[in-house]
């Protein structure tokens, strides 16, 4: 089964649109990997973490999933991390792959109106 999954992944990533989407999600999946590893290292179940955080097991399951419609707040992540004996560090890191292009003030105002 593992080889068929690898074959599927290889075929899928050969498509440029799939590869682009996969690469764009790499950081998010790396974060969720850290979340799951932290809980595994703590030896706690989702139910035990939930009791420490003051929530339900299903809420912890949602937090640990890569479900796109669920985006936990920083406060929630801090509670989760504390329950596991960790802390959350949030930082902005310059993306060297994406140079910043400056737009004219007129273009910036037009973009702001479109997004409102």
Quick one: 96 exposed, middle or buried, by C-beta within 10 A (0-12, 13-18, 19+)? Answer: exposed
pLDDT at 25: 86
| Contact between 10 and 22 (Cβ < 8 Å) | no
- Residue 85 DSSP symbol: T
Structural domain boundaries of the chain? 2-91
Identify the pLDDT of residue 95: 83
Is-contact 71 77, C-beta < 8 A? no
CATH class of 2-91: mainly alpha
Per-residue pLDDT of the chain (116 residues; tens, 9 = 90+): 567 888 998 999 999 999 998 888 888 888 889 999 999 999 999 999 999 999 999 999 999 987 767 788 999 999 999 999 999 998 888 888 777 777 666 766 776 777 66
Distance CA 105, CA 111 (A): 10
């Amino acid at each position: 089964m593992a080889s068929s999954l690898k074959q599927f992944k290889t075929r899928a990533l050969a498509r440029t649109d799939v590869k682009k989407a996969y690469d764009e999600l790499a950081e998010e999946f790396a974060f969720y990997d850290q979340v799951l590893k932290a809980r595994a290292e703590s030896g706690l179940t989702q139910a035990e973490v939930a009791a420490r955080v003051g929530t339900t097991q299903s809420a912890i399951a949602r937090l640990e999933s890569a479900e796109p419609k669920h985006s936990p707040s920083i406060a929630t992540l801090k509670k989760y991390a504390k329950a596991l004996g960790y802390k959350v560090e949030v930082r902005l890191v310059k993306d060297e792959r994406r140079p910043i292009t400056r737009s004219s003030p007129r273009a910036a105002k037009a973009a702001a109106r479109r997004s409102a």
